[in-house]
Structure 1
Amino acid sequence: MNTDDINLAYKLRHALNENLDALPASTTERLAAARALALSRKKADAASAAPFAKKDWRRSWFDVDALFSNVALGRLAVAVPLLALVVGLGGVYQYEQQQQIAELAELDAAVLADELPLTAYLDHGFNAYVESQQRRQ
């Protein structure tokens, strides 16, 4: 709620309280019954939230009660998949790097094993051949 809404609520409450004495007895009784019903419903809702209201959330993570609370489990439910994602992406990156190194080593070994004259390495066609071999693998 913004400040305009809060100010309007205060003004309405003040206006209703000013004319409270002028209301008929039947209206006052109905309002009292409605208030009692609302309070009884509120107490039922408040009873289920009471254990969480008394909790001190400034405790450390090493507190057993705080560790198994809904907030801590919610944090773990977010942290564990994120950690798994980071570890998985790191593993994929390492695997791809190893594959690239192995391909380059194989190409270097093939080039060094061939008996080519040194002028073949200076030929542009040879460079195109090496690049096409890299793309195929």
Structure 2
Amino acid sequence: MNTDDINLAYKVRHALNEQLDTLPASTTDRLAAARAAALARKKPEASFLQVKPTASGWRAALAGFGTFVSGPAMSRLAIAVPVLALVIGMGGVYQHGQQQQIADLAEIDAAVLSDELPLTAYLDPGFNAYLESQQRRQ
């Protein structure tokens, strides 16, 4: 149980205790029987320092490790690892896109430089429209 659960239990107990005098006797008897049944089923408190005499050395050495693995540090780690993987993946996708754009521009530059057009053709506004239409086709 975490602190919020314990606080809620205390608040419920306090609210029930305030109204205890106004409850009918049959209700208080049923509540007492339910409490007794719950206490009978309650597991004994186990301390992580208790070691069974039949436990092996490894089992005794790792007895407290289960509480560490399931503690709040592990839940934070369970959130941090996927977020970190997502950030790294998105960075990789961005880098790939940048490299692809550079390769496309280099291909256009190589095609322009190897072509035998006069220089005035490159200054024509229609030439830019032609280049854009060629990029859209690819």
Band of TM-score, shorter chain: 0.5 to 0.7
Q: Which runs of 5+ in 2 are unaligned?
A: 1-7, 49-63
CA distance in structure 1 between the aligned counterparts of 2:131 and 2:34, rounded to whole angstroms:
87
The residue type equivalent to 1:114 in the other structure is D
Percent of aligned pairs with the same amino acid:
61
The residue type equivalent to 2:130 in the other structure is Y
C-alpha deviation, 1:7, in angstroms: 7.8
Match of 1:60 in 2: none
Question: Kindly tell me: are residues 13 and 99 of structure 1, through their superposed partners in 2, closer, same or farther at Cα, counting changes over 3 Å?
Answer: same
C-alpha deviation, 1:115, in angstroms: 2.2
Candidates 2, 6, 15, aligned match of 2:22: 15
Question: Kindly tell me: are residues 30 and 93 of structure 1, through their superposed partners in 2, closer, same or farther at Cα, counting changes over 3 Å?
Answer: closer
Match of 1:106 in 2: 107
CA distance in structure 1 between the aligned counterparts of 2:75 and 2:39, rounded to whole angstroms:
31
CA distance in structure 1 between the aligned counterparts of 2:28 and 2:132, rounded to whole angstroms:
92
The residue type equivalent to 2:118 in the other structure is P
Structure (1/2) with the larger helix percentage: 1
Q: Which runs of 5+ in 1 are unaligned?
A: 52-63
TM-score by length of 1: 0.61
The CA RMSD measured in Å over matched residues stands at: 3.6
TM-score by length of 2: 0.60
Match of 2:69 in 1: 68
